[in-house]
Structure 1
Amino acid sequence: MTLDLATPLTYLKGVGPARAAVLQAKGLATVEDLLQYLPFRYEDRRNVKTIQQLAPGEMATVIARVDDTRLSGFQRKRLGLFEAQFEDASGATLVAKWFHGAHLANRITPGLQIALFGKVEFDSYRGDLTMLHPEFEMLSGEDDDEPALHLGRIVPIYEGTGKITARALRTLVHRALQNIGDIPDPLPADILRRLRLPDRGAALRDAHFPPAEADLRLLNAFRSPAQFRLIYEEFFWLECGMALKRGEARLLPGIAFETNDRVREQVKRLLPFKPTGAQKKVVKEIADDMRLPVPMNRLLQGDVGSGKTICAAQAAVIALENGYQVAILAPTEILATQHYLSFRALFERLGYQPLLLSGSFSAPEKKKLKALLASGLIRIAIGTHALIEQDVEFEKLGLVVIDEQHRFGV
């Protein structure tokens, strides 16, 4: 059956009702959802050797049978050391060890065929080759018929979900890619050509199953060409969505602030020092925006101590001198208090008294301060999340400044 991106996963071989429910709980309902579930890292399993060929210090993959297991240590505290002895066709043995490995005692049992991937070490005390905390995958009792997916190549590692292992997810993704038709590419052809990006289908295939010549370091840094293309696509649509929202916002009515001689004189009175050229440039851009009859939404970015606060204070003067209120939000009470002290020193010379409002204030204090805000008697409000509670009302709010916006989760 030929699949497409919208095909429900229940039509994919190996996905029955139980697996479908587990995948659905992870947000994977369609083939597209599954293909967008990308590996979180990659392992180089191209170096497959017999135990006899192993050398201490190398990273290698071996396929061997469990001969014996042993759990020792402080089991009641779950600090047990789980050891398993493996043997392969070469007749040599390898011991794998897992600290805190009591949970493996019922999974790794004698007779199972297992692929181990890890660093080979020599145990001088016992005279054995060992692997400490190796990655492993069961090769016995699995329901896939594509063993070449899991060994002898760069192998994608997925975050397991429920009882569906990374190995099972790898098999399902491979089946989906084998049976899907042409994958439509939503990115404009001009962008693909100009940035030399692979098409979406090729990017998905290479991100899940990298070619033999792929650079493992780039893959694990999420900087391979396929990964870059998929990341670019995500940001492309995010930027398109933001551009649409900005366009819609531009259609809303805003406040056309005046910046006449009186306002400019008040801004000069506010400044305790001569502003830098960069500060003058930024304030001019903000003032130009505030004069337009549309909402302003600007990001001011700069190093610590570069003078962002004084730029925000000058914008606040423009709003205040036009008869509007100003709200300044900070993510913590300490930062809000620092801003309150700074703004109080700046604005007292202009005759404005800021107000501080935070969550630690008592209910009667909050009620009194909120009443002052609603009446318009307080023109500058500085605070934490308490400023954006549902019962906070402003008489005539004209400007909002959010410091460290990323810490508000918006």
Structure 2
Amino acid sequence: MLRLDSDVQYVKGVGPRRASLLASRDIRTVQDLLLHLPKSYQDRAHFIPVSGLKVGQDAAVHARVYRSRVIQTRTRGRILDVILTDGSSFVHAKWFHGAYLQTREFSAGREVVLFGRVDFDRYESKFVFFNPEFELLDEGKDSSSLDIGRYVPVYEAVGGITSRQLRHIIAAALADSAKDINDPLPEEILEAHGLPDLRTCLERVHFPEPDDELTKLNQRRSPYHRRLIFEEFFLLELIFALRRIQSRSREGVRFETSERIRQQVKMILPFHPTAAQKRVLKEIVDDLKAPYPMVRLLQGDVGSGKTIVAFEAIVIAVSNGYQAALMAPTEILAEQHFLNAKRILAPLNYRIAVVRRGTKKAEKQELLEKIASGEIQVIVGTHALLEERTLFKNLGMVIIDEQHRFGVVQRLQLMAKGENPNTLVMTATPIPRTLAMTLYGDLDLSVIDQMPPGRSPIRTVHVMERDAERIYEMIRSELKQGHQAYVVYPVIEESEKIDLKSATEGFKKLSAIFAGYRVALLHGRLKSEQKEQTMAAFAAGESHILVSTTVIEVGVDVANATIMLIQHAERFGLAQLHQLRGRVGRGAQQSLCILMTPNRINDVARERIRAMVSSTDGFRLAEVDLQLRGPGEMAGTRQSGIPEFRVANLMTDGELLSLAQQEAQRWADRSEERGRLIEALSGRARLVTVG
């Protein structure tokens, strides 16, 4: 008997060679093999009369051999041609290189079941099956085959192992391991939600019975699929629930929010906060007053006012005598946060510093000493904050901006620089609810779903490259009104490998076209000082057009910039396009985002462009992006730690995810059941990989 954790090579029909092929698809154990589910199911149980066959349909036929012969051809070698009849009409079946079957198998009068796609032989004007699957029946007996006479599973081939071979291998694995299939889910959950037990589930998902619904099987909505999906989500959400319980068992940095502190928070507000900002701040304050450390994700669309909420949290931390660290993924964004911190926190006279990569050694050493001594209260930086030599005296608040640009490990590294500090992670790239639940299920979630008043909506248009002259005139019109413009390119320099306009060439061209205006160039290869000077000059209105790559994707806030031209918009992802567009529309003036593409673009790019033109709602665009790209690509699987599901699909299984989350939290809270459940599920942990 095989165990679920037995090496797959010991399954009948596998062996070492096929085991290595299966390993290329991460199928190494019997359990992995049983979770390699069919991609579809074919109805080979219901026979179609030969007279009712139609070209292009997949059909099962029950007939007798009328005649068989071998045809010798010049190009295809020997072909076995069999004529069959069920009494209603005749049909041909042809096997290329199948002459060896003739005398041994297809004798006249032999009863046969065929399955395949019906084709039409235009040379002989007749219906034909090419290389169909078949089964020869004993007189008067029905088939009990895995391949014919039933709903038959169709698998994605693995390294040359065909669907039919996998079918028989999986059947052998089920037969040999059936006694080891114990259900890890509590019976109470199965009964409450009408889910089948695991053994029944695996048997029926691979080899359905006649009373199963074929449509639901093919839609992956059968009870067996739903149960496997639920279990996969349940395991993940249980891990997250246990992490939250573990986090709340630690003693955190507990902050007071006295009237004095509340007044200090009000001092930094540049405008009356929206209802959404007030709600989110209350959620954060409640966390900060709790005895355990805050670990919260703050989501909000571009321009929704997340930054001011983050600075309010910083004020609470510093007012309680602790340091606050704000980490950003790029130097430009870190610099922007530093400048904002100095401006917004100016009334409170905080000591603020930014840790830059290019800082001179002596200057940086002095800065690090001031951070370690506690003299610096608010520290802004990039990955430099993670360096071993960057030490804090009493880090009480960690804020990570654009969390999706960092990995889970980096988040934990910064948190480890304090004694259980409160942590707020932010993203201006809206994440669909299902993706947020799997990426950040161990974090509490706050959403700013309201925009500050006084901003005009951004108009977005799609134009072709042939319209360039007209677009330049539109930019010129904005410049004449005293406004500024962005022109974004996908690459810094031109390449022989890809035919794309580049920022450096664009800078030269636009400098000539707009000779009366100051054009600046910004990209990632510039030194830190050059980037800072370029951005500062544009923010001060000293330059009129900023030619850039995607380094301005986040954090750049120049209210006077009212028009953006994105060259080769088809080369950018939907989230990138939305982030770039968010650099305009920061003030009260009407702003315009122009998406320029070649005349011909592929269908997926066209869908992205269409979505951008039709909506400025980042959350809606995130759902579209999830549909177009899938969760792994959208989140950046390795970087972000998104689970790699074997069965579940975030785009279609949101209902089961919510249900699994509720049940996981309920069972994690039941301390008397927790240990037994963890032990039962530990053997199933390979279902998902959590970063």
Q: Same fold by TM (over 0.5)?
A: yes
Q: Percent identity?
A: 43
2-side partners of 1:177 and 1:164: how far apart?
Answer: 18
Q: Is the 8 A contact 2:91 2:126 kept in 1?
A: no
Residues 1:273 and 2:271 aligned together: yes
Residues 1:175 and 2:172 aligned together: yes
Aligned 1:364-383 pairs, distance under 5 A: 364=359, 368=363, 372-373=367-368, 375-376=370-371, 378-383=376-381
Deviation at 1:153, TM superposition (A): 4.1
Per mean C-alpha deviation after superposition, the further-off stretch among 400-409 and 122-131 is 122-131
AA paired with 1:37? H
Q: Is the 8 A contact 2:42 2:151 kept in 1?
A: yes
Q: Structure 1 residue aligned with 2:184, among 182, 186, 190?
A: 186
Q: Which residue of 1 aligns with 2:4?
A: 5
What's the C-alpha RMSD, in Å, of the aligned pairs?
Answer: 4.4
Residues 1:89 and 2:83 aligned together: yes
Give CA deviations for 1:39-68 in whole Å, capped at 9, x if unaligned.
3x1142437669875423534468999978
1-side partners of 2:378 and 2:73: how far apart?
Answer: 71
Aligned 1:134-283 pairs, distance under 5 A: 148-179=145-176, 180-181=178-179, 183-283=181-281
- Unaligned segments of structure 1, at least 5 residues: 72-81, 97-107, 141-145
Question: Would the alpha carbon gap of residues 8 and 94 (structure 1) be closer, same or farther in structure 2, given more than 3 Å must change?
Answer: closer
Q: Is the 8 A contact 1:23 1:29 kept in 2?
A: yes
AA paired with 2:293? P
Question: Helix, strand or coil: the match of 1:292?
Answer: coil
AA paired with 2:174? L
Q: Is the 8 A contact 1:263 1:318 kept in 2?
A: yes
Q: Is the 8 A contact 2:91 2:128 kept in 1?
A: no
Residues paired across the two proteins, number? 374
2-side partners of 1:384 and 1:220: how far apart?
Answer: 48
Deviation at 1:266, TM superposition (A): 1.4
Q: Is the 8 A contact 1:85 1:93 kept in 2?
A: no
Q: Is the 8 A contact 1:374 1:395 kept in 2?
A: no
Deviation at 1:17, TM superposition (A): 3.5
Question: Would the alpha carbon gap of residues 262 and 174 (structure 1) be closer, same or farther in structure 2, given more than 3 Å must change?
Answer: same
Deviation at 1:190, TM superposition (A): 1.1
AA paired with 1:176? A
AA paired with 1:229? R
2-side partners of 1:15 and 1:303: how far apart?
Answer: 51
Give CA deviations for 1:145-190 in whole Å, capped at 9, x if unaligned.
x993234544434344334333322211112223322631111111
Q: Is the 8 A contact 1:69 1:110 kept in 2?
A: no
Q: Is the 8 A contact 2:80 2:99 kept in 1?
A: no
Q: Which residue of 2 aligns with 1:34?
A: 33
Q: Is the 8 A contact 1:337 1:356 kept in 2?
A: yes
Q: Structure 1 residue aligned with 2:386, among 388, 403, 407?
A: 388
Question: Helix, strand or coil: the match of 1:148?
Answer: coil
Deviation at 1:264, TM superposition (A): 0.9
Give CA deviations for 1:61-83 in whole Å, capped at 9, x if unaligned.
68999978999xxxxxxxxxx9x
Q: Is the 8 A contact 1:329 1:382 kept in 2?
A: yes
Q: Is the 8 A contact 1:122 1:130 kept in 2?
A: yes
Question: Would the alpha carbon gap of residues 238 and 354 (structure 1) be closer, same or farther in structure 2, given more than 3 Å must change?
Answer: same
Deviation at 1:390, TM superposition (A): 4.7
Residues 1:295 and 2:272 aligned together: no
Question: Would the alpha carbon gap of residues 400 and 19 (structure 1) be closer, same or farther in structure 2, given more than 3 Å must change?
Answer: same
Give CA deviations for 1:288-339 in whole Å, capped at 9, x if unaligned.
2212342211233445554433322221221122233333344556665665
Q: Is the 8 A contact 1:112 1:139 kept in 2?
A: no
Q: Which residue of 2 aligns with 1:310?
A: 308
Per mean C-alpha deviation after superposition, the further-off stretch among 250-259 and 217-226 is 217-226
Q: Is the 8 A contact 1:331 1:384 kept in 2?
A: yes
1-side partners of 2:268 and 2:124: how far apart?
Answer: 78
Aligned 1:40-59 pairs, distance under 5 A: 41-46=39-44, 54-59=53-58
2-side partners of 1:273 and 1:285: how far apart?
Answer: 20
2-side partners of 1:204 and 1:255: how far apart?
Answer: 48
Aligned 1:332-371 pairs, distance under 5 A: 339=337, 342-352=340-350, 361-362=357-358, 364=359, 368=363
1-side partners of 2:243 and 2:30: how far apart?
Answer: 30
1-side partners of 2:389 and 2:360: how far apart?
Answer: 14
Q: Structure 1 residue aligned with 2:395, among 371, 394, 397?
A: 397
2-side partners of 1:335 and 1:69: how far apart?
Answer: 70
- Unaligned segments of structure 2, at least 5 residues: 85-89, 102-113, 136-142, 407-639, 642-691
Question: Would the alpha carbon gap of residues 290 and 94 (structure 1) be closer, same or farther in structure 2, given more than 3 Å must change?
Answer: same
Question: Helix, strand or coil: the match of 1:89?
Answer: strand
